[in-house]
Amino acid sequence: MNSCSSDNIYYQPHLEECQSVFRDRTHGGRCIAEMTKESDAIVMGIPAGGIPVAEVVARVLGFSLDVAVVSKITLPWNTEAGYGAVAFDGSLRLNETLIRQSGLSRNQVQAGIDKTRIKVAERVRRLRGGKPMSDLSDKTVIVVDDGLASGYTMQVAVEALARCGVGKMIVAVPTGHATAIEEIARRVHALYCPNIRSGPRFAVADAYEKWTDVSDSEAETILKTVDTVPPAETLA
């Protein structure tokens, strides 16, 4: 492996450094499901883009699906770039380096945190539909997103879920930057990522032939209908 040396990282060598390797999120979900070796687990999808991937993983493996609401704190002038993330339990992680480089004031940073906490609370209410979090005590949990760029969102998710008493933490994503993969791997039992890429420029979307934003409404629909839609193997 070019830059990831941890022995708990599982990937596909023929997909290393490649772009456009997945048709869509459904394809990406199938790829990581085929790599996963667990016999029983709870799949926790990170909204919104991770929910379609997590749904496929849960359905292919026959595991239950839940949601771990985490949202990045975005720059005021670029909603695609985040300088931190907030989790469902109110915890957060900040990228102090990016904050300094961006010239954000502490008032701007706090305003972003406050706004994101409101967003997370609303997502919890909407996506969980009033249902409590699954009992994760001593359980195996597979945390799924559609990709890892900086890894801050996943780090916050893993830390928050660890506080729920998870017994075995696994991360599964179709694509990720080598640096973020290495960092997350140090915090979990296993990390599955078929497509690992390195270099100064990285976009999760570059791993997919078809890429569209996933709205909260779409994620909500998936979570509400997860018990009624056909198995992933029959989906186009």
Q: Which domains does the chain have, with CATH numbers?
A: 9-69+135-227 (3.40.50.2020)
Q: Please, what sign has the CA dihedral across residues 70, 75, 81, 83?
A: negative
pLDDT at residue 227, rounded to an integer: 55
Note the pLDDT of residue 76: 87
Write down the pLDDT at residue 233. Answer: 42
User: Residue length, the chain?
Assistant: 236
The residue ranges of the chain whose pLDDT is under 70 are 1-5, 227-236
- What is the per-residue pLDDT for 236? 34
Whole-number pLDDT of residue 6? 79
Q: What is the pLDDT of residue 229?
A: 40
pLDDT the model gives residue 82: 84
Q: What is the pLDDT of residue 45?
A: 97
Helix, strand or coil, per DSSP, at residue 221: helix
- Backbone φ and ψ of 119, nearest 5°: -60, -45
Residue type for position 78: N
Whole-number pLDDT of residue 159: 96
pLDDT at 29: 98
Cut 0.85: pTM above it: yes
Burial class (CB in 10 A: 0-12, 13-18, 19+), 168: middle
Rounded CA-CA distance 57/40 in Å is 12
